[in-house]
Chains A and B, each alone.
Chain A
């Protein structure tokens, strides 16, 4: 096979994998928007907060230690334990459920019936509050996240594909990142689990009912408060997964919250209300930006990925404003 074709395939495969990582972030947005109509600006910060919490718990870091030490004059930093990743994730889930409860109890419960723009503004405030809280709780240094995820290219795939090129050609086998492969499997499991939860459990059906019509759901005795806590908790779980995957690449640091920027074109393309839309949107954006960079980047001076993702999303919007899988908005006069 020609090397150019093999390289193109490599770029496409890596684009698909990158798309999965974008979709992981986008999923959190979709869950909350679908159930409550809130565009959660804080989703990126939730991923950061969950990753900070996970590292903090695993490393036995005392939360708010700087504050405690400054007030009490103590020198407390660590509990002295190290917890494995499984229990770390479990405890982080508990924290995220607690956070979901607080968000609902102290913020959104008081904003029921407000305009969507007000709710959006509230999530902006929430994002900055959580960023500050994360800093105060865990500090702002970069933390190494080691949950045992593999890193680096898969040698097996490289060895398997290196022979596809003609002999003597400058081809080193196809590069597929092992972390990306794990992310793909995890994302697939997550989506299947979310779909099963929504389709076959009582709480899932209640969640869908709320998503369809709040008033009707209330009239049949579904607790809006409970459902919203549930949805924010689910978004918190998704944030943990996204935080772990992205944090494993770069360490856990405050710029992790900027991964939300990667989710926006995915949402524009896939629609704000569809879980499959987030996945398909992520894949299209991932492949689109990587292939465009590979084919046209050198001619345009490179670094085309960020803006091209948005151009691609805009192109889709022109023809389908609700996104590929979004619900068509019909307003009757």
Chain B
């Protein structure tokens, strides 16, 4: 009897979640058609927490426990992952898919668990007054659209009246995100906008690029994902569209997007909300505490790629928000509610990034109860096919906050009315 009791207690101790840990689930996709983008993100996300655990013993003395759950970039599986892991003491979710994000907004709000959708998801979630548990800083899709136009304005001395800009987009809710913003910007700046949808998965784009070849727009902006990106870049090269006039959203700006086209992709540009490369002091620690110790996530071959850096950056913001939460509440162990407070209080300054060994790695921003979207600063990176590297050619600059703010206000107000949500910020 005594033996049975001891065994049962031991079993419970093993099965019960270690509540003292800081639990950060990683809803990743290492398999399926989008794995090429999912693997580097998941590796970067995991490696950052590994370096914190190995070097600092976690955050504020509390070890980090990252739970990875494979979604295959499938919305149903993503929701299953959420349901399966939320009982483990999850502090914040990073669903890494706009589809999963939309499903989880009401669930996380009801469960009181915050969600951070870095550069994806529902744009109007930037309004913290309505979306109490969703954060999408440092930039959203509408910032991306404005950032692309700002860059085109910059290289045309501030005047793009009469210029022709084509948007090649994934024919999905994600791909259609920038249209409204671009249409508003079109009215403001007087450029001509052509919309060219590409059906999923985007393996065949001959019609769209023949049209581009015939109509010769001055610039092409792309909102692509998966195979659509590689095919578009190859087709652009095929029709000899000037690569320096071809600008992709950040999800169309990974190393894996440009490498298949080889030398032809030279000069291609993409928007960015974090920096590129591995020339940062933190990477020395990653080498020492993660790679050399044999603890690198995945195959360890993604370090320094664009999407790896994005995963690293997501983890960095999570960790910094956790530190804020610990400071606010004066404790080291956290609850999801405390974590939400930390996410709202996060202020990313240059000094803070220098202290983390990541100088100028991302834009500076300050979140608040109302502002869950950060400052919306967007940079531009360009691909050098010879050295096979990206470089930041335009620093993180402000986007059209007046125009985007009005759009966010209108969209979030409609969501609030539909769901009977009262403003949460006093």
Chain A residues close to B by CB (< 8 Å)? 7, 10-11, 14, 18, 66, 73, 132, 135, 139-142, 144-146, 151-153, 170, 172, 175, 177, 246, 249-251, 253-259, 262, 290, 293-294, 297, 301-303, 305-306
Does B158 count as interface, using CB distance less than 8 angstroms? Answer: no
Give the chain A neighbours of B195 by CB distance below 8 A: 301-302
Residue B249 is within 8 A (CB to CB) of chain A in the complex: no
Instruction: Determine the distance from Cα of A294 to Cα of B196 in the docked complex, in whole angstroms.
Output: 12
Q: Known: A141-B39, A251-B259, A255-B227. Is A290-B206 also a contact (CB below 8 A)?
A: yes
> By the criterion CB–CB under 8 Å, are A140 and B31 in contact?
yes
Partner of B237, one of A18, A139, A140, A151: A151
Cα-based distance from A177 to B239 in the complex (angstroms): 9
Contact B207 A294 (CB under 8 A): yes
- Closest residue on chain A to residue B229 by CB atoms: A250
B204 at the interface (CB under 8 A from A): yes
Chain B residues within 8 Å of A7, by CB: 214
Name 26 A/B residue pairs within 8 A (Cβ), A-sorted. A10-B210, A18-B206, A73-B294, A132-B31, A135-B35, A140-B32, A142-B230, A144-B259, A145-B260, A146-B262, A152-B237, A152-B240, A172-B216, A175-B239, A249-B234, A250-B231, A254-B36, A255-B33, A255-B34, A258-B227, A262-B204, A290-B206, A293-B207, A302-B196, A303-B171, A303-B197
CB distance from B128 to the nearest CB of A (A): 34
Instruction: Name the residue in B198, B239, B299 with the highest tally of chain A Cβ atoms < 10 Å from its Cβ.
Output: B299
Besides A302-B208, A303-B171, A305-B207, 10 other CB < 8 A contacts?
Answer: A7-B214, A14-B206, A142-B36, A142-B256, A152-B238, A177-B238, A249-B203, A253-B33, A255-B226, A262-B204
B207 touches A290 (CB 8 A): yes
Contacting A at CB under 8 A, from B280-319, are 294, 299
Residues of B within 8 A of A253 (CB): 33, 36, 227, 230
Query: How many residues of B are counted as interface, with CB atoms below 8 angstroms from the partner's CB atoms?
Result: 41
Q: Assess the A255–B264 pair: CB atoms within 8 A.
A: no
Contact across chains for A258 and B201 when beta carbons are under 8 A apart: yes
**A151 near B234 (CB under 8 angstroms)?**
yes
For A306, list chain B residues within 8 Å (CB): 199-200
* Interchain CB contact under 8 A, A250 and B203: yes
B30 within 8 A of A: yes
Q: Which residues of A contact B262 (CB under 8 A)?
A: 144, 146
Q: Is B213 an interface residue (CB 8 A)?
A: yes
Pairwise interchain contact B227-A66, C-beta atoms closer than 8 A: no
Contact (Cβ within 8 A) B207 A297: yes
Contact A140 B30 (CB under 8 A): yes
Most chain A Cβ neighbours within 10 Å, of B195, B203, B262: B203
B contact residues around A262 at 8 Å (CB): 203-204
CB pair B203–A251 under 8 Å, yes or no, is: no
Q: Cβ of B196: which chain A residues have Cβ within 8 Å of it? A: 302
Give the Cβ gap from A220 to chain B, nearest Cβ, in Å. 44
Top 5 closest pairs, chain A to chain B, by CB: A251-B260, A255-B33, A140-B35, A303-B197, A255-B227
Chain B residues, CB < 8 A from A132: 31
Q: What is the distance, in angstroms, from A150's C-beta to the closest C-beta of chain B?
A: 10
CB distance from B24 to the nearest CB of A (A): 23
Q: Are B210 and A14 in contact (CB under 8 A)?
A: yes
Q: Which residues of A contact B230 (CB under 8 A)?
A: 142, 250-251, 253
- B33 adjacent to A151 (CB under 8 Å): no
CA distance A139 to B299 in the complex (A): 10
Residues of B236-290 contacting chain A, CB below 8 A:
237-240, 256, 259-260, 262, 264
Within the complex, the shortest CB–CB distance from B208 to chain A, in Å, comes to: 8
CB distance from B34 to the nearest CB of A (A): 8
- A141→B36 contact, CB < 8 A: yes
Complex contacts, B35 vs chain A, CB 8 Å = 135, 140-141, 254
Closest Cβ–Cβ distance, residue B191 to chain A (whole Å): 19
Closest to A171 in B: B214
- Looking at A73, A172, A303, the one whose CB has the most chain B CB atoms below 10 A away is A303
Residues of B within 8 A of A141 (CB): 35-36, 39, 256
Closest to B196 in A: A302
Max chain B Cβ within 10 angstroms of own Cβ: one of A290, A301, A305 = A305
Q: Given A66-B299, A249-B234, A250-B260, does the pair A305, B199 have CB atoms closer than 8 Å?
A: yes
Q: Which residues of A contact B207 (CB under 8 A)?
A: 11, 290, 293-294, 297, 305
Contact of B203 among A139, A140, A177, A246 (CB under 8 A): A246
- Residue in A closest to B35 when the chains form the complex, CB atoms: A140
Instruction: Chain B residues near A152: list those with CB within 8 A.
Output: 237-238, 240, 264
Instruction: Give the CA-CA distance A19 to B213 in the complex, in Å.
Output: 21
Complex Cα–Cα for A152 and B262 (A): 13
B239 contacts A303, C-beta separation under 8 Å: no
Contact of B213 among A18, A73, A172 (CB under 8 A): A172
Partner of B197, one of A139, A251, A259, A302: A302
CB-defined contacts of B199 to chain A, threshold 8 Å: 303, 305-306
Give the distance to chain A from B278, nearest Cβ to Cβ, in Å: 18
Name the B residues within 8 Å of A294 (CB-CB). Answer: 207, 210
Taking CB atoms, residues of chain B closer than 8 Å to A144 are 259-260, 262
- Mask for B372-384, Cβ within 8 A of A = 1, else 0? 0000000000000
Q: For A146, list chain B residues within 8 Å (CB).
A: 262
| A140 x B39 contact (CB < 8 A) | yes
Q: A151-B238, A249-B231 are in contact. Are A255 and B206 (CB under 8 A)?
A: no
Report the minimum CB–CB distance from B287 to chain A (whole Å): 15
A18 to B235, alpha carbons, bound, how many Å? 14
The complex places the Cα of A290 from the Cα of B204 at a distance, in Å, of 11
Instruction: Say yes or no: B240 contacts A153, CB within 8 Å.
Output: yes
Chain B's closest residue to A262 (CB) is: B204
A259 interface neighbour in B200, B203, B210, B226, Cβ under 8 Å: B203
Bound-state Cα–Cα, A246 to B234, Å: 12
A116 vs B208: C-alpha distance in the bound complex, in angstroms?
39
Q: Could you tell me which residues of chain B, from 20 to 64, have a CB within 8 Å of some CB in chain A? A: 30-36, 39
> Bound state CA distance, A259 and B200, in angstroms?
11
Listed residue (B31, B171, B207) with the most chain A CB atoms within 10 angstroms of its CB: B207
